[in-house]
A and B are shown apart, each in its own frame.
Chain A
Amino acid sequence: MAALSLDLQILNTIAALFLLLAFAMLSQRRVVTLVKLLALQAALLCIATLLLAYRTGETHLYLSALLTLLLKVLFLPWLLNRLIKRLGVYWDSEPLLAISATMLVGLLIVIFSFGLAQPIVALASTATRSGIGIAIAVVLLSFLTMITRRKAMSQVVGFLSMENGLFFGAMSATYGMPMIVELGVALDVLVAMLVLGVFFFQIREQFDSLDLHHLESLREDE
């Protein structure tokens, strides 16, 4: 391996940890821990953005890091924790697939997305381009988390982690999106979170549970 500069090495390590956290979320049954992992993932994203901002000298990345810190590391986990307490959902029910089977599927997804990223990596010119494969893997793994869970809460956490993965991908491929897009996405996430928060209460009022499995039947009576 050609000697990389130290900050790139740290960025690569963060990318690896990012992937590890996605797997940790995939295997986690407790919703509270899931939220903690999400906050940790966002914190890693924040550190990576800061390092990249320092490396490239782009000021808007500093703003992006600040936004990540305030919104995704502090506010969203706080909101989620409050919702968990109000709704009393601490555990997800048994996931659709056994944990070890999910992990193996996850492994295949990682191999698939690394293959998928290969041509993109070959075209990209940024120093952080090797993170693209990891970002795709994290997005798909979060998707898998959403698919295999039944409770609305864990699905929302999967959704947010997917968003983190997208940000990481944008950062690795093009040193971050334009400020206006980033602000738009941040606002979207915030609004989505608030709307989903209201939805949780509605769902629970209707079905006495947050299990989305109840939403599948379309009949009006019952």
Chain B
Amino acid sequence: MINWSIQGIEVLLALAAAPLFAGWIAQCRALLQNRKPPSIWLPYRNIRKLLMKEAVLAEHASPLFRVAPYIVFGTMICAAAIVPSTGTRLPFSNAADAIALVGLLATARVFMSLAAMDVGTAFGTLGARREMMVGFLAEPALLIVIFVASLISQSTALPVIAERLATETFVLYPSLAFTAVAFALVLLAENARLPVDNPSTHLELTMIHEAMLLEYSARHLALMEWSAALKLFNYACIGIALFLPWGEATGDAPTAAALLAAIPMLVLKLAVGGAVLAVAETVFAKLRVFRVPELLATAFLLAVLGLLVHLLLEG
């Protein structure tokens, strides 16, 4: 019972921290670009503002359009429960392994794209098509990244992978270095970050993620933006679980104290990770849409190389 309540608290924490993480990245980016940084609380204010507004729906919107934000938000909450962010032995973590997690994230993408095409505006369809293109190129790379970690720890469950890597004696895995870079590229592509999509753009011809949300307003838009932040947070936590799992609460029956102790470590890792992400976004220029497959092919290549290197050097 206590485990379930801890699990609930973990999910609530993820929900609360996701917009903060997004705000932190925005702040780092602004500082790096010599702009006055926006308040770190801006995403919260944005969500509150949107929640208080009256929702306006397109005339021909089907029920799917109205349901989609709740589905997307729900899948993201599920994913937040599965990803081991503070402890590895929480009850919900065993509900799905990493492959199912990728499927869960794909479900969210499918509903988002369907909703974007539902109203029938040109931009929504354009955004949905691009999103599906990015998705189908990024997913194999992500799966192979997970397979390499699975081969090392003999399990496809994220918590087991994280626990294995966190508790064994320190070993240099060249294959994990390859897959870490591949994962970073996938993270940038999947979360509509800079070389692939600019999260702060509203220039119609280049946007992917924003194009899909154009028809949404008020509470629906708030949920969509919140789930985008949560998705980024989840990806960051997956990355931490795969590549930097030290400091998480491991072992049977996590006590509340151990989980509390894991939180500062997580905050530190997220803060550093967010800053690195902001640097990457400042250094990269936006790619042409036609060059995006090349970037993701590189990610796939790196992941497969990691797999081969693992088989040859670490087998």
B177 within 8 A of A: yes
Of the candidates B174, B178, B294, B315, the one whose C-beta lies within 8 Å of that of A15 is B174
Query: Interface code B291-315, partner A: CB below 8 Å = 1, 0 otherwise?
Result: 0011001100110110011011111
A201 within 8 A of B: no
Complex contact B301–A12 (CB within 8 A): no
Query: Interface code A1-27, partner B: CB below 8 Å = 1, 0 otherwise?
Result: 101101001101101110110010001
The smallest C-beta distance from B292 to any residue of chain A, in angstroms, reads 11
Query: Interface code B168-180, partner A: CB below 8 Å = 1, 0 otherwise?
Result: 0101101101100
A110 to B175, CA, bound (A): 15
Complex contact A107–B174 (CB within 8 A): no
Q: Which residues of chain B have a CB within 8 Å of any CB of chain A?
A: 152, 169, 171-172, 174-175, 177-178, 293-294, 297-298, 301-302, 304-305, 308-309, 311-315
Q: Which residue of B lies closest to A9 (CB)?
A: B172
Of the candidates B169, B301, B312, the one whose C-beta lies within 8 Å of that of A3 is B169
Q: How many A-B residue pairs have CB under 8 A?
A: 61
- Chain A 105-139 interface residues, beta-carbon cutoff 8 Å to B: 106-107, 110-111, 114, 117, 130, 133-134
Q: How large is the interface on A (under 10, 10 to 19, 20 to 34, 35 or more residues)?
A: 20 to 34
A110 to B169, CA, bound (A): 30
Complex contact A1–B309 (CB within 8 A): no
Best-buried of B172, B175, B297, B315 by chain A (most CB within 10 Å): B172
A207 to B293, CA, bound (A): 37
In order of increasing CB-CB distance, the 9 nearest A-B pairs are A16-B174, A9-B172, A13-B174, A12-B313, A100-B297, A16-B309, A130-B313, A1-B314, A133-B312
Complex contact A114–B294 (CB within 8 A): no
Q: Which residue of B lies closest to A132 (CB)?
A: B312
Best-buried of A3, A10, A110 by chain B (most CB within 10 Å): A110
Complex contact A3–B171 (CB within 8 A): yes
* Residues on the B chain within 8 Å of A114, using CB: 308, 311-312
